[in-house]
Amino acid sequence: MKRLSYFLILLFSYSNLFAQLYEQSVRSIVEALATDSLEKAKGMIEQTIRLDPMKPSNAILYQYLGGIYQKQGQNEKALDAYGKGLELSPASLDILLNRASLYLQLNNEERALNDYNKVLEAQQDNEEALFFRAFIHSQARRNKEARNDYKRLLELNPMHEDGRLGLAILNNKDGRPREAMEQLDALVQFFPNHAKHYLARCGLYIEKKEYEKAKKDIGMALELEPDNPECYLTRASLYLAMKKKKLAQQDCKTAIKLGVTPEAVTSVLGI
């Protein structure tokens, strides 16, 4: 009996020591992440997971690990880490959102949509999932579904900037240019220092052949963000509409210098 008691005491002490070691490791990981020491944090995460591979709280460690791999451009390893985290915690909305974001980044809209659907099944008012699901539907020309998600999002948060912009763009695509223009006018009024709204409105003015108004908007966008390549691509589109091909080509060259791919420029020039 004494032997059994002694064994139980040893077992309890070992378990307590193991728990302290695990908790200390997690604290060290958080500290490394806070100082942006990604390689150090990655090594510590892998080491901590090995202490107890099936521990449910490892899910958040896999989430951190996936985030590190994603930042480093190791997308397959990031997806694997998120997948392992979800095996331990299938209902983790944070991991689902992270993985969906990566799928979207990789142009895998179908899998991203699947993850956003899972989030919204668990939390129907999740703003991030509503916005990106609306975006995916819009890209796939499922305008009714996109509109429903944007409307729900704006019911929850009437000043959701990207949601308002997304709905304006959708309205223009869906044959509602007047609504789109009214919504973009409101966005420019609410967020006068955000170039993206001037760029979107400039696009509508180009379509309407109101070139002077378009020139004012692109001028404001460039004043706000002179190093934004989208500004130069948008102005190139304006110049092309105005039959000023040389000026359009100059802006396309500037956009490439600022990081735009040649393929994007080719689509603007129509060649």
Res 7: pLDDT:
43
pTM reported for the whole predicted model: 0.83
Task: State the pLDDT at residue 48.
Answer: 85
Cα 242 from Cα 206, distance rounded (Å): 9
Largest CA distance in the chain: 96
Predicted confidence at residue 39, as pLDDT, reads 83
Q: Which element (helix H / strand E) includes 45?
A: helix 38-51
| Residue pair 172/180 in contact by the 8 Å Cβ criterion | yes
Both tokens of 23, joined, read 């908790």
d(CA 30, CA 109): 31
pLDDT computed for residue 194 by the predictor: 98
Q: Which two tokens stand for residue 60?
A: 């958040």
pLDDT of residue 261: 87
Q: Under a CB-based contact definition with an 8 Å cutoff, are residues 97 and 129 in contact? A: yes
Q: How far apart are CA 17 and CA 41, in angstroms?
A: 22
Q: Exposed e or buried b for every residue in 173-190, given b needs 16+ CB within 10 A?
A: ebebeeebbebbeebbee
The pLDDT of residue 270 is 65
Whose CA is closest to 62, among 27, 99, 23, 31? 99
Output the pLDDT for position 34. 56
Residues of the chain with pLDDT under 70: 1-37, 270-271
Q: What is the pLDDT of residue 15?
A: 40
What pLDDT does residue 141 have?
A: 95
**What proportions of the chain, in percent to the nearest 5, are helix, strand and coil?**
80, 0, 20
**Cβ within 8 Å of residue 202, ≥6 positions away:** 214, 217, 218, 221, 234, 238
